[in-house]
Amino acid sequence: MGELILLLTQLYSFVLLARVLMSWVQIDPHSPLARTLYDLTEPVLAPVRNLLPPTAGLDFSPIIAIIGIQVLGATLAQLFTMAGM
């Protein structure tokens, strides 16, 4: 179970990274890929963005979200491994 949690957190981190990379290039925001990435990531990024102070137009929420997801995933994986699940 712990390995599955680590895999899912890694996959979601890649989705967040894809969203960041998409923001650097000119992609139609109404394309199915852009909408899917937005729909998958915005529920995590919006609360993080609201907690961070404004920083000269830079959005650090993806970095904070990726770090948080990795820490949470590793912690949950360790707990499930210790519990023998």
Domain boundaries, the chain: 2-51+60-83
- Predicted model pTM: 0.88
* Segments of the chain scoring below 70 in pLDDT: 85
Tell me, what's the pLDDT at 2? 86
Tell me, what's the pLDDT at 58? 86
Tell me, what's the pLDDT at 47? 96
Please work out, in degrees rounded to the nearest 5, the angle formed at the alpha carbon of residue 51 by the alpha carbons of 49 and 56: 60
Contacts of 48 (CB under 8 A, 6+ apart): 61, 64, 65, 68
Tell me, what's the pLDDT at 85? 67
